[in-house]
């Protein structure tokens, strides 16, 4: 009897185990997939954490809030031989988010990547053609006056514009002659059209805007992203004046302390700044054109160029350690050229550029 009872108990146990095994999920699906979407919205925006040797990517910073703001474009949508002399070459807009009036704009050419660029309202500093500030478009605002500062070889480094009733959303277009001092006394537009100065030659120019609420904003001119009608060699440049823009990156070539003459067109530029920042590396081939200029040119310096003849852009993001090594090709497209000015600027992740790197000049022999 006991043997029969134990046999029944054994059969019941075997049956229960079989039932449990049949209802258990397969081992391959018992754990959630690693790529499964997290069900909780509170966890959906947690950073991705890696467990290999690669670092966790830096989060994209949020766009800085602001109220007062302005933007200045120089020769937008124009070819490489653009000139600030032409109508509407400077285009200023009050892009404030609140009802803040723009009262003053200060433009300082002394920091431009090409040296000795000056305002030439009297035809003394550059070629013989001159143009003082000319209003080409004004809406309900008015220009209260303008002044020049920083005398430089017959021209001026600084132009100051004062406004009345410059409201949010309004635009002010103007033109004024800018020339390199190296062509003083020659007929316009000078050899190699060096007297036709556009936004490309003025990259790095310091622009300061003052508003009626006391806000003062400063930035530097960078290359305009939109190529406009000029294609790869367009001359457009822009300075956005608002808070929270990137600081100044640095550019360097290993083993070379510029300015310097080099024999190899193949170089590698290191751009440095905050980790993860988008950057634009610019290589502007300049030339020194002096044919027909009295005395062969005015106050010339080694490695000086007075016009841009070509430009190339290299884009990327700063990697580990806040650096990126960028292979570039220097050019010498004309006999007077080969003076390659290398600079860079950072993007705020939202399409707005900040300060411009101190330029490095390499002359390709």
pLDDT higher than threshold 90 for residue 37: no
DSSP string, 17-51: HHHHHHHSPPGGGSS--TTPPPS-TTTTTPPP---
Instruction: Name the residue with higher pLDDT: 28 or 191.
Output: 191
Is pLDDT of 180 > 70?
yes
What is the end-to-end Cα distance of the chain in Å, rounded?
A: 110
The residues with which 272 forms a beta bridge, in sequence order, are: 250, 323
Question: Rounded distance, CA 358 to CA 273, Å?
Answer: 13
CB neighbourhood size of 363 (10 A): 21
Q: What percent of the chain has pLDDT over 70?
A: 81
* 179 vs 127: CA distance, rounded Å: 7
Q: Which of 322, 317, 316, 323 is nearest to 274 (CA)?
A: 322
State yes or no: pLDDT of 14 exceeds 90.
Answer: no
Half-sphere exposure of 269 (CA within 13 A, CB side): 30
Instruction: Give residue 231's pLDDT.
Output: 65
φ and ψ of 23, to 5 deg? -90, -10
**From 19-28, 58-67, 244-253, 309-318, the region with the lowest mean pLDDT:** 19-28
pTM for the structure as a whole:
0.83
* Residue 345, H or E segment: strand 339-347
Encode pLDDT of 218-241 as tens digits. 999 999 986 666 666 799 999 999
């Amino acid at each position: 009897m006991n043997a029969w009872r134990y046999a029944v108990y054994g059969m019941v146990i075997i049956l229960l185990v079989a039932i449990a095994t049949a209802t258990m999920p397969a081992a391959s699906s018992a754990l959630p997939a690693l790529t499964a979407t997290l069900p909780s919205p509170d966890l959906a925006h947690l950073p991705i954490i890696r467990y290999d040797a690669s670092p966790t990517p830096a989060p994209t910073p949020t766009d800085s809030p602001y109220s007062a703001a302005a933007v200045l474009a120089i020769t937008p949508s124009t070819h490489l031989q653009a000139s600030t002399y032409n109508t509407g070459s400077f285009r200023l807009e009050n892009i404030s988010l609140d009802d803040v009036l723009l009262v003053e704009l200060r433009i300082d050419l002394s920091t431009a990547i090409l040296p000795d660029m000056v305002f030439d309202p009297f035809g003394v500093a550059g070629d013989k053609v001159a143009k003082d500030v000319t209003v080409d478009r004004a809406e309900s605002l008015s220009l209260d006056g303008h002044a020049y500062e920083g005398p430089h070889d017959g021209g001026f480094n600084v132009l100051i514009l004062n406004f009345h009733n410059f409201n949010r959303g309004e635009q002010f277009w103007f033109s004024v002659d800018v020339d390199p001092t190296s062509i003083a006394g020659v007929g316009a537009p000078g050899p190699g059209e060096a007297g036709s100065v556009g936004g490309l030659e003025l990259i790095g120019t310091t622009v300061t805007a003052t508003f009626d609420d006391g806000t003062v904003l400063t930035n530097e001119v960078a290359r305009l992203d939109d190529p406009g009608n000029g294609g790869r060699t367009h001359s457009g440049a822009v300075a956005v004046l608002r808070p929270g823009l990137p600081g100044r990156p640095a550019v360097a070539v290993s083993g070379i302390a510029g300015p310097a003459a080099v024999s190899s067109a193949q170089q590698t530029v290191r751009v440095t700044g905050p980790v993860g920042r988008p950057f634009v590396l610019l290589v502007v081939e300049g030339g020194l054109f002096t044919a027909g200029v009295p005395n062969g040119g005015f106050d010339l310096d080694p490695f000086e160029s007075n016009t841009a003849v070509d430009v190339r852009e290299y884009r990327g993001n700063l990697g580990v350690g806040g650096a990126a090594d960028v292979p570039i090709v220097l050019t010498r497209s004309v006999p007077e050229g080969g003076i390659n000015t290398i600079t860079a600027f950072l993007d705020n992740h939202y399409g707005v550029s900040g300060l411009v790197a101190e330029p490095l000049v390499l002359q390709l022999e």
